[in-house]
């Protein structure tokens, strides 16, 4: 392809990426995330799921039938403090148009989030997952993958069984825009399971419905995992910051009590 053709594709790609990264109006979180609380709770290797409010987020939520449209991996203090005195980046994520980048926890201060933690992870494997993501910082998203981006503009009604296939539509690297695929690859490297095995062995998790079994078979490869899969996985624990340091429901002050006093 000529240099001129590359330039045209690059321009189209930047335009499409910019449109997909536009925020939608009217988003308000139920429980905004406090960066300091998250920093105390999160452990390296934890996955932070985010309910995004970008245009691409709406399509991912529709296709996956989930609240969560984005994911990032927590790496703790693995990255150095910025020389300009700004907040230390502690999350690694993949963004459309940017690629693999490190961002501070405060980026998601105004979003609904969920912490997913791999159960029983050894220190060595935890470090392997973190190192995998650190080594991929700077990985670029190919803006010339026009078909990859176009599918996020058309959340047309379709049967549930086809929606994950719609995520796979495009080039040979179908989910570079979804960070969960890179995180799944990191966990794949330590042979850590995400979705249930298809088995009937006693005491082992299994998929019961034919639809679930076909979905799991379809997404064995890391490139087809979505943020929702970490939430549904029986091998990842959901960590809620408000409960980690003890919660006494009797200490809650209700609006009626405030008005009465």
CA–CA separation, 52 and 133 (whole Å)? 21
Taking residue 75's Cβ as centre, other Cβ atoms within 10 Å add up to 22
pLDDT at 254: 83
Please state, in angstroms and rounded to a whole number, the distance separating the CA atoms of residues 186 and 132: 6
Is pLDDT above 50 for 177? no
Answer whether 63's CB lies under 8 Å from 137's CB.
no
Which stretch of DSSP H or E encloses residue 117? strand 113-118
Residue 261: is it exposed, middle or buried by C-beta count within 10 angstroms (0-12/13-18/19+)?
A: exposed
Most confident range, picked from 20-29, 46-55, 95-104, 113-122: 113-122
How far is the C-alpha of 21 from the C-alpha of 57, rounded, in Å?
9
**113-118/99-103 β-pairing:** unpaired
Range from 33-37, 41-45, 151-155, 213-217 that averages highest in pLDDT:
41-45
Residue with more model confidence, 30 or 52: 52
pLDDT tier for residue 69 given thresholds of 50, 70 and 90: confident
3-state secondary structure of 92: strand
Quote the CA–CA distance of 49 and 68 in Å, as a whole number.
Answer: 6
DSSP category for residue 212: H
Cα dihedral angle (194, 200, 204, 205), rounded to 10 degrees?
A: 40
- 45-59, 63-77, 94-108, 203-217: which range is least confident on average? 203-217
Q: Quote the distance between the C-alpha of residue 157 and its chain's center.
A: 23
Q: Examine the pLDDT at 245 and tell me if it is beyond 50.
A: yes
pLDDT tens string 204-235? 555 556 655 555 554 556 667 888 889 989 89
88 vs 202, higher pLDDT: 88
Instruction: Tell me the average pLDDT across 178-207.
Output: 74
Are 118 and 45 a contacting pair, CB within 8 Å? Answer: yes
H helices present in the chain, as ranges? 3-20, 35-41, 55-64, 123-135, 146-150, 160-167, 179-188, 210-218, 227-232, 241-244, 255-260
In the CATH scheme, what is the homologous superfamily, with its name and number, of domain 3-260? endopeptidase domain like (from Nostoc punctiforme) (3.90.1720.10)
What sign does the dihedral 93-99-102-107 (CA atoms) show?
Answer: negative
Give the model's confidence band at 114: pLDDT under 50 very low, under 70 low, under 90 confident, else very high. Answer: very high
Mean pLDDT of the chain: 77
Going from N- to C-terminal start, the domains of the chain cover 3-260
More confident residue, 219 or 21: 21
User: With 70 as the cut, is the pLDDT of residue 37 above it?
Assistant: yes
State pLDDT tens for residues 123-146. 999 999 999 999 999 887 766 666
Q: What number is the average pLDDT over the span 18-22?
A: 72
Judge whether residue 2 has pLDDT over 50: no
């Amino acid at each position: 392809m000529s240099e001129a053709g590359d330039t045209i594709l690059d321009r189209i790609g930047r335009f499409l990426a910019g449109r997909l990264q536009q925020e939608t109006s009217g988003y308000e979180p139920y429980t905004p995330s406090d960066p300091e609380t998250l920093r105390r709770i999160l452990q390296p290797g934890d996955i932070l799921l985010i309910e995004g409010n970008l245009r691409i987020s709406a399509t991912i939520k529709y296709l996956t039938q989930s609240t969560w449209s984005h994911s990032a991996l927590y790496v703790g203090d693995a990255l150095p403090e910025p020389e300009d005195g700004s907040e230390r980046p502690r999350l690694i994520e993949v963004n459309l148009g940017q690629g693999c980048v490190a961002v501070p926890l405060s980026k998601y201060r105004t979003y609904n989030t969920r912490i997913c933690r791999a159960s029983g992870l050894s220190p060595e494997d935890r470090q392997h997952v973190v190192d995998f993501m650190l080594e991929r910082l700077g990985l670029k998203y190919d803006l010339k993958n026009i078909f990859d981006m176009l599918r996020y503009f058309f959340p047309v009604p379709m049967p549930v069984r086809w929606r994950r296939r719609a995520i796979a539509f495009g080039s040979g690297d179908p989910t570079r825009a979804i960070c969960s695929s890179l995180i799944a690859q990191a966990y794949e490297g330590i042979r850590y399971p995400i979705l249930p095995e298809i088995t009937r062995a006693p005491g082992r998790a299994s998929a019961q419905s034919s639809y679930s079994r076909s979905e799991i078979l379809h997404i064995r490869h890391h490139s087809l995992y979505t943020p929702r899969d970490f939430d549904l996985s029986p091998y990842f624990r959901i960590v809620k910051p408000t409960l980690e340091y003890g919660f006494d429901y009797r200490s809650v002050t209700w609006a009626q009590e405030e008005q009465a006093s």
